[in-house]
């Protein structure tokens, strides 16, 4: 799978990691990038290869229409996400459901709509932007998000199995924290979001099904085979 000459769709492309995916795809020679967002009018279309597209993970009709419009896609980047900041035991259960609706069911809806497109246009790739919280629960206020990301991680694995042998690379991207609007209230170390896009796309071209972008992701992944007390003790 080569980025040069490809046609890509990036969800959540109006800011943060998604915006950097658009820029890095163009830098690597993508011939067209659909920049998906709930409010496509916010997309800064500064390159003739960029096409703003309405994609709302909670609106199945917008997803279905996007798959018709972007029927030439060979790289799908599922980046769109949100967090309610909900705790599992004390927050409204509706907030927990909202995180799952976005990260699990929303991402699955996009993949289901585009899977026939990607198989038909192969070789192709699906990139799911995940998190170190796919594997570990940390501070209060991240429990619901962590559950949703864990579900999205195994969604990534399940889709990979179901698409095996059909010419579609399915990649999961894990990171600790990037310097984005979503993480503005987090005072811990943050990486430049451009590093996420660069590492992921290099991995696509190398055929990597998993990309660990930073040290927190590598540490937690390594710790999973050991005593859980390393993470929770």
Residues 78-95 have pLDDT tens digits of 999 999 999 999 999 999
pLDDT in the model for residue 181 = 56
pLDDT at 200 over 60: yes
Inter-residue contact 173 to 135 (CB < 8 Å): no
Of 61, 56, 65, 72, the C-alpha closest to 14 is 56
pLDDT at 24 over 70: yes
Quick one: which H or E segment has residue 158? Answer: helix 143-162
Q: What percent of the chain has pLDDT over 70?
A: 96
- Comparing 73 with 181, the larger pLDDT belongs to 73
- Comparing 220 with 183, the larger pLDDT belongs to 220
The residue behind tokens 């890509």 is 8
Report d(CA 135, CA 228) in Å as an integer.
11
Task: Encode pLDDT of 103-124 as tens digits.
Answer: 999 999 999 999 999 999 999 9
Domain ranges for the chain: 7-232
User: Structurally, what CATH architecture does the domain formed by 7-232 represent?
Assistant: 3-Layer(aba) Sandwich (3.40)
Task: Encode pLDDT of 137-162 as tens digits.
Answer: 987 788 999 999 999 999 999 999 99
pLDDT in the model for residue 141 = 81
Quick one: which H or E segment has residue 151? Answer: helix 143-162
């Amino acid at each position: 799978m080569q980025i040069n000459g490809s046609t890509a769709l990036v969800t959540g492309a109006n800011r943060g990691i998604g915006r950097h995916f658009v820029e890095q795809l163009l830098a690597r020679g993508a011939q067209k990038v659909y920049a998906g967002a709930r409010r496509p009018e916010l997309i800064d279309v500064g390159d003739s290869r960029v096409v703003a597209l309405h994609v709302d993970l909670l609106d199945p009709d917008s997803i279905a229409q996007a798959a018709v419009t972007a029927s030439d896609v060979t790289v799908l980047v599922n980046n769109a996400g949100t967090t309610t900041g909900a705790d599992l035991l004390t927050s409204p259960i509706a907030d927990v459901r909202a995180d799952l609706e976005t990260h699990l069911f929303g991402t699955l809806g996009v993949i289901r709509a585009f899977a026939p497109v990607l198989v038909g246009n192969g070789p192709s790739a699906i990139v799911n932007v995940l998190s170190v919280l796919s594997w570990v629960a940390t501070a209060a206020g991240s429990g619901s998000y962590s559950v949703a990301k864990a579900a999205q991680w195994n969604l990534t694995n399940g889709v990979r199995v179901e698409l095996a042998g059909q010419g579609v690379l399915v990649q999961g991207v894990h990171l600790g924290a990037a310097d984005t609007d979503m993480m503005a209230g987090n005072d811990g170390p943050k990486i430049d979001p451009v590093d996420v896009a660069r590492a992921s796309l290099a991995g696509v071209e190398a055929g990597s099904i998993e990309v660990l972008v930073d040290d927190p992701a590598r540490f937690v992944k390594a710790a999973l085979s050991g005593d859980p007390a390393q993470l929770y003790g």
